[in-house]
Structure 1
Amino acid sequence: MTEKHTQLTSAEIACIWTSYMNDSMATCILSYFLQHIEEEEIKPIVQFAYDISAAHLEKITNIFQEEKIPMPTGFTIEDDVNLHAPRLYTDTFMLTYINHMAKVGLLAYSGFIAMSARKDIREQFIKGLQETTELYDSSSDVSLLKGLFVRAPYIPYPKKTDYVDSKKYLSGFSLFSKQRPLNTVEISHLFTNIQTNIMGTKLSLSFAQVSPRENIQKWMYRGSDISKKHVQVFTKALLNNNIQPPVSADIAITDSTTPPFSDKLMMFHMSLLSGAGTGNYATAAAASQRSDLVLNYERLSLEIAQYAKDGADIMIKNEWLEQPPGTIDKQKLIKTKDTE
């Protein structure tokens, strides 16, 4: 048996399934963006993002068919997008959204590569990583050109190297002494999570604005409130260190209330961002050395987890939560056999 025809591992199946779901969602959103984008500098970025997702979707579809694995339902332009819906987002929002989702894609493809053994699967995800890197790079260039790219805070260059000489360095709480200043690793994660939550706030508000279902509107508004709260927590940590967090330009949504996307797609998208946010917080907690920051990330992660769980309940109730491929329940199989 050649390497190419070696059966896919469970990890590889999980990767192609996740990639299919994400890319099918992306093609729906980007096809809608293409109907409304006007700025000449931004339009090629949107088109490039769409072309990448569409090509990935076609390749992954071929893999499913070659391996004779049932295709996910995912999302389709026919069922999950209203291309004739009025403009919901400004051109600058579309650019900022693509730049943000490219960051999410970079992390996802890195993980897919690390979990894949078969050569053709690795090559597929390596190509995806390269294309997503190019997308992030080009969208960053245009964002910088238009004054939309938000840089992390600047600090004075250090004058020397140093070592931790006291356990107090790890403490974020003290009744008798001032907290130590934030280090650059901690600042970078606080800044990143501020920017991520700002995007989450805008996106969840736009979804609440257009959803026809009251329970989904409430869930989306709740997500926006959670993101705002988390921005305040992270901003306060920076301000307490006399670091002014850079503020993004207004990446506004319009006043349209006509839904461009299905509720199923919008719920999936927010669940995806919730999962990415939880991962960001875990990484930030592991990298931060001040105990107050670690505790903040841990408690805020629990809030996101409960929010995501409530969202999953809504999706299950409406039969929108697609189940990833799984193993056979042996006990259930035996009981079924015994009744035959």
Structure 2
Amino acid sequence: MNERKIYLTSSEISSLWTAYMNDSMSKCVLGFMLKDIKDEEMKIAIQSAYDISASHLEQLTTIFQRENYAIPKGFTEQDVNMNAPWLLTDTFCLTYVNHMARVGMISYAGFVAMSFREDICNYFSQCLNETNQLYSQSLRIASSKGLNARAPYIEVPKETDFVNNKKYMSGLNPFSEKRPLNAVEISYLYMNIMTNVMGVKLCLAFAQTSPSKEVQDFMLRGKNISQKHIKIFVDILLKDDIEAPHVPDTSVSDSTTKTFSDKLMMFHMSLISAAGIGNYATASAASQRNDLAINYQRLSLEVARLAKSGADIMIKNNWLEQPPGIKDREKLAKNKEKS
């Protein structure tokens, strides 16, 4: 007797679609990085990341074909100019892989949690494990070369303590002294500084290589927002005499040759904007000083507005691929009546 077919759920369909889009983009970017990277150790990490994305695309294509699921357009070799000159430093490439691996681990953990079918759960669990290994590999290489920026050190607690005053949660009153930052708050400030540093460099690389004035202006706006957010977070740390992280040299070259398609660059920005909003939401929930929580919420709105304007540009230029969804039943009925 044939086993009853278990159909994909909406969350599994969305997770598979998102994973394909992200991996097809990553393969293009990583393939270009491999062309020019000189450091052999760093190249190992970039190659690992490329191989993972290529393998994922093959596995996803097999799943799509088995389920009669239309394969997304995603991104192909047409979205990257492999003849473009050197654009990204070796250090940038390694830092990029480490950063995107962190984003990937968060995404894949969510995909596992939203999956129900055993084969889909197993696939995303495998992806999570591979991305975790890639993160560890890139971190190990960066550490061996003294390139990884560590979070600030604080004293190890010698005893437990409890909050005994509501003032612990305060911080909005400009006339009262704010309590010192705790370890959780320092951690999120540090992480958000690092992610915005990566955002600044990506925006610069994309702005100077895009032939579109509209895209250039969007990227420069993104760069300015990231720089503003970095300053806000650094100033908060400095008020408690905590040094800002020493960021490795993640610079870009002065190439202005078109390297990636505008469609790919805008999609990449939407991906890191979404990740940034998620980071800020988590940081806001975890921060116990209410001035920090409100700061994150305010800055999230600024990133959301940027993402909205980016989506408008993508729609205008027919670059925004639509995620799978249900049919508009009312529209179908009306069309039937007309016919």
TM-score, normalised by the number of residues in structure 1: 0.98
Aligned match of 2:185 = 186
Aligned match of 1:10 = 10
Q: Counterparts of 1:329 and 1:167 in 2: how far apart (Å)?
A: 51
Structure 1 position 2, deviation (Å)? 3.9
Aligned match of 1:49 = 49
| Residues 98-177 of structure 1 mapped to structure 2, 5 A cutoff | 98-177=97-176
Secondary structure of 1:41 counterpart: helix
Secondary structure of 1:83 counterpart: coil
1:163-189 per-residue CA deviation (whole Å, 9 max, x = no partner) reads 111111110123553111111111100
Aligned match of 1:299 = 298
Aligned match of 2:65 = 65
* Alignment root-mean-square deviation, CA: 1.0
Structure 1 position 252, deviation (Å)? 0.8
1:192-244 per-residue CA deviation (whole Å, 9 max, x = no partner) reads 00000000000001100100000110000000000000001111111111111
| Residues 1-340 of structure 1 mapped to structure 2, 5 A cutoff | 2=3, 5-77=5-77, 79-340=78-339
Unaligned runs of 5+ in 1: none
The letter of the residue matching 1:321 is: L
Q: Counterparts of 2:37 and 2:324 in 1: how far apart (Å)?
A: 37
Instruction: Mark the CA change 1:323 to 1:175 in structure 2 (over 3 Å): closer, same or farther.
Output: closer
Q: Counterparts of 2:278 and 2:129 in 1: how far apart (Å)?
A: 22
Q: Counterparts of 2:158 and 2:38 in 1: how far apart (Å)?
A: 48
Unaligned runs of 5+ in 2: none
The letter of the residue matching 1:205 is: L
Instruction: Mark the CA change 1:177 to 1:49 in structure 2 (over 3 Å): closer, same or farther.
Output: same
Q: Percent identity?
A: 57
Q: Counterparts of 1:37 and 1:175 in 2: how far apart (Å)?
A: 49
How many residues were matched structurally?
A: 338
Q: Counterparts of 2:172 and 2:199 in 1: how far apart (Å)?
A: 30
Structure 1 position 334, deviation (Å)? 1.0
Q: Counterparts of 1:120 and 1:247 in 2: how far apart (Å)?
A: 43
Q: Counterparts of 1:315 and 1:62 in 2: how far apart (Å)?
A: 29
Structure 1 position 38, deviation (Å)? 1.0
Q: Counterparts of 1:102 and 1:256 in 2: how far apart (Å)?
A: 26
The letter of the residue matching 1:42 is: M
Which portions of structure 1, spanning 4 or more consecutive aligned residues, are displaced by more than 3 angstroms? 174-177
1:8-51 per-residue CA deviation (whole Å, 9 max, x = no partner) reads 00000000000000000000011111111111111111111000
Q: Counterparts of 1:38 and 1:293 in 2: how far apart (Å)?
A: 41
Q: Counterparts of 2:63 and 2:8 in 1: how far apart (Å)?
A: 10
Secondary structure of 1:68 counterpart: coil
Instruction: Mark the CA change 1:75 to 1:166 in structure 2 (over 3 Å): closer, same or farther.
Output: same
Structure 1 position 260, deviation (Å)? 1.4
Q: Counterparts of 1:326 and 1:337 in 2: how far apart (Å)?
A: 20
Structure 1 position 268, deviation (Å)? 0.3
